Structure 1
């Protein structure tokens, strides 16, 4: 089995490598190729990756390359974890929207649209190269914004499934609070990527006892603290929103907070510098503790599980993924990409049935889906007017004066990445 990781020079690739090493019985990799245009980073990350495999007695071979075509050749699955423009572009995404009084964040709002515009054309080019190399290869997309990028891949006819670590993070957190094995915890996880709610927490399987009321009663303060939301909001909802819902439920408060501290991109850039120095130490043969602060917790385990299922090598039969709606949420078009529990196998992902949603959630999902329609159109076809319409449709913006100002800023800060600008 051969896997390729495009964006393999990322500083959190060692998290992925550690998972591959520990879970080799689930996903028996014979060859792993790390692909990245940044040769210097790739050398450091690749060296540590080989040492992690060696320490854990993994027999698989790890190679590195800056050549995408060579890296994906004959791969059974390709994992995409790109950041077009790097942390510098992310830093801009997190700052210029604040000038208009809007949230600056890399996956939602104006910053999320900028990332989508930079990313979708690059991902589609890579996917075409994968298809030419092996039409049967699966593409696992961890590149944000996952919902929009996965939809672009699926609409272009690629064998793709989107993946996010929010659900597995909740699963592990709830398992600790309940003092049970994570495999016993199943989530009624519903929504879009980075716009989800845990409507239920079930023990033993998708049809097991719903212990969410117990969790909220006994651990509501801890859950609310993790989400940076007031406990009374969680209690009134009776569900657990993802922490990305804070940008919607506390927009103005978040904008004020973001204006008083360095961007997350600046923090991560400093962390990456320290991590890369660590990776260059030839005695380091495990992922450092600092990596836990970088983000992407449990991504490796979710990725292994998904790849194993898609490649017919076991894996959990039900997983939270991003895939076509196909009637699951009846108020959305079939080709919308949703994030829900799905049955996953070598034929792909099929969403499980979802109960009728409260309008409180369905309305916001429908609104953001409409924005994503326009965002993908702007990413595929370009043009100032398409960017403006996408921003105007976003519920975090929604005013023409803001949308106009944000459009000008988005184009100015991303001109080098936009072929049409």
Structure 2
């Protein structure tokens, strides 16, 4: 197995995150040898720009790897070992609606949280189900590593629709981003920190962070944040909204000092505050379009024009790409490394529903994730998670049953909405905006 090389398809190959994943593939070739990489996207124009960049990158850094890109499903999925998935159904145009429509009704607009995440989730489920079916047709044994957002809803939907599937793994890079940022506060190697983590995707907490000597560095990290604030380790590459997001960790730690929170919890714990600080005419979509989106495509076009990637600055977030490649390597070579991933609960957190798709630390081997038990959690966290799981479950059931009532229940239960009249207004507006993508809700 050690000498075997893997064949990969990157779904959503035209994404601005693709260059980071491609670069990670070249830097991790010793641990994860690759025979072939195919990029697949339904947007031929975006795909070509990133695809041509990929050919130059691999020609210079890994010429033995075969590189291609395609808009043909069969060509993409046939005879692969891994599917790296990061699709965005509806693109940035629909993301903009996800973020701006809720704000018309006094509700925070965010890509993966609240009504925006709800809308994005209902769009993502359809394409993800189609992707799984197609992969199984052309590569029955391939591992599907999914980054597609909102990962919590997608993970739960795939678990409900494909309950016997053992080779789908839903992952998120935010715990890794946070680990890197926590480690930088104590000048420690993030890869040597052992996390204890529980929750749902974008809705969890670190309870312990052990170093190589078995010492819990959590108290030290908390103290540093409470006395000096918190910034991402790659702050110079981040937009202002991300700097504001990380800064809120200090607020959450002051109010709820037990654990270190995932940054996305700010939207659920402080929805009114976050709404008051948001600009309904300029959301994160505008920031991304003017920032990362513009820079990545300009840089990739420059690289293609010059015929070299040696002076490239196109990679903006190493954690995103590194995690995807390292997770695949741990599975492919049976390394049993520990990562925070999504798995069906089944008693891991003993006082949460067994059918919830929780996010916890797990060892990743050739047989998939082996999660570490968490045990019971306290009332506050249990109550928050059960409410959020109820929202996610109702969202998936609304999709599967075409149920307007369950969609309304889901939004009413979400902590960013709460009010049923607001939930109905937002839902009706989102139905109108998503006619092309959602099932009919009756």
- How does 1:150-299 map onto structure 2 within 5 Å? 150-155=155-160, 156=162, 157-158=164-165, 159-204=167-212, 208-220=214-226, 221-223=228-230, 227-229=246-248, 231=250, 233-238=252-257, 239-259=259-279, 262-271=282-291, 272-281=293-302, 282=304, 283=306, 284-285=308-309, 288-289=312-313, 291-292=315-316, 297-299=318-320
TM-fit CA distance, 1:147: 1.6
SS in 2 for 1:197: strand
TM-fit CA distance, 1:355: 4.2
Matched, 1:125 2:125: no
SS in 1 for 2:429: helix
Q: What are the superposed Cα offsets for residues 67-103 of structure 1, whole Å, 9 maximum, x if unpaired?
A: 1221011111111101000001000001111111111
TM-fit CA distance, 1:286: 5.5
TM-fit CA distance, 1:58: 4.7
SS in 2 for 1:285: coil
TM-fit CA distance, 1:201: 1.2
Structure 1: gaps of 5 or more residues = none
Matched, 1:60 2:65: yes
TM-fit CA distance, 1:291: 4.8
Matched, 1:108 2:113: yes
Report the count of equivalent residues: 415
TM-fit CA distance, 1:222: 2.9
The change in CA–CA distance for 1:187 and 1:261 in structure 2 (over 3 A counts) is farther
Structure 2: gaps of 5 or more residues = 1-5, 232-243
Q: What are the superposed Cα offsets for residues 384-411 of structure 1, whole Å, 9 maximum, x if unpaired?
A: 2222121112122222101110110110
* Backbone CA RMSD of aligned residues: 1.9
- Report if the CA contact (8 A) 1:94-1:111 is conserved: yes
2:89 maps to what in 1? Answer: 84
Matched, 1:308 2:335: no
TM-fit CA distance, 1:160: 0.7
